[in-house]
Amino acid sequence: MTSENTVRSQNSGAAGRPRADRARQVADVLRQQVLSEAFGAGPLPHEDVLAQEFGASRNTVRQALDLLRGEGLVRRVPGSGTLVAAEKVPHGLNRLEGLAETLHEHGEVVNEVRSFGPVRAPGAVARRFGLPDGADVVYVERLRRLNGLPLSLDLTYLAPDIGALLEPADLAHRDVFRLIEEAAGQPLGAADITLEAVNADAHSAAVLEVPRGAALLMLERLSTLADGRPVDLEYVRFRGDRLAMRGRLLRDLT
């Protein structure tokens, strides 16, 4: 290996680097251990043990734990040490699945239907569906809870013929994907998705019961039936502290 002016070498992650850089390094590995439930329901190892494990000082470990506490991932309990604060559930990223489908092992998803009914589609929405300008679509807004706590706020536009067959009462306890498939008499085929990280505006924060500015995972998803027709356009805000997306990518450069 060569060494350059711009490159600082290090040993055991300790020498010659600002503590904030080393704390981030420790925090990232710990975050993933928390997510993969390496510590179960118990506390994280003691700071001395972590310092040994990471070849870092106790102060660096303490700063790393502060970072994770700032994210709401862990909390400090006097006498008990550092505990995992809230379960962060994994949303599958390899197949098109509804929330209740992907989280069935993690608890019950209940939806509060905040709005349901026909609306004139904005031009940009009509075009995504291949509908003429000014066509009606069905708009559904749901606050979705997992085990009682808000998980996501979903804004959904449905193709008018499909939306007309849905009952709001069914939307409270079932994924819209299943309802669409029953209404259409065919399975969904695929979806184009966009994932972003955004800060919660004041009103969305209040609805999701997080502080203003909290990081949200924002999903836009246009789902099509097996025959290729777009029927479901969704804008979903997931609480960043409660959900992670997990999947597998193949290299396949051919």
Give the amino acid at 78. P
* Per CB under 8 A, 67 contacts its own copies: yes
Strands 109-120 and 136-146 come out as antiparallel
CA distances from 185 to 68, 121, 182, 195, 224 (A): 46, 24, 5, 29, 13
Strand partners, 109: 146
Q: Binders of its own copies among 23-42, rule CB under 8 A?
A: 23-26, 28-30, 32-33, 35, 38
* Per CB under 8 A, 149 contacts its own copies: no
Q: Binders of its own copies among 90-109, rule CB under 8 A?
A: 90, 93-96
Stretch that binds its own copies, among 79-87, 102-110, 144-152, 159-167 (CB under 8 A): 159-167
DSSP codes joined into one string, 146-169:
ETTEEEEEEEEEE-HHHHTT--HH
* Per CB under 8 A, 132 contacts its own copies: no
* Per CB under 8 A, 148 contacts its own copies: no
* Per CB under 8 A, 182 contacts its own copies: no
Q: Is the dihedral of CA 179, 147, 195, 251 positive or negative?
A: negative
Q: Binders of its own copies among 204-223, rule CB under 8 A?
A: 204, 213-218, 220
35 vs 244: CA distance, rounded Å: 9
Q: Min. distance of Cβ 153 from its own copies in angstroms?
A: 8
Nearer to its own copies, 122 or 130 (CB): 122
* Per CB under 8 A, 143 contacts its own copies: no
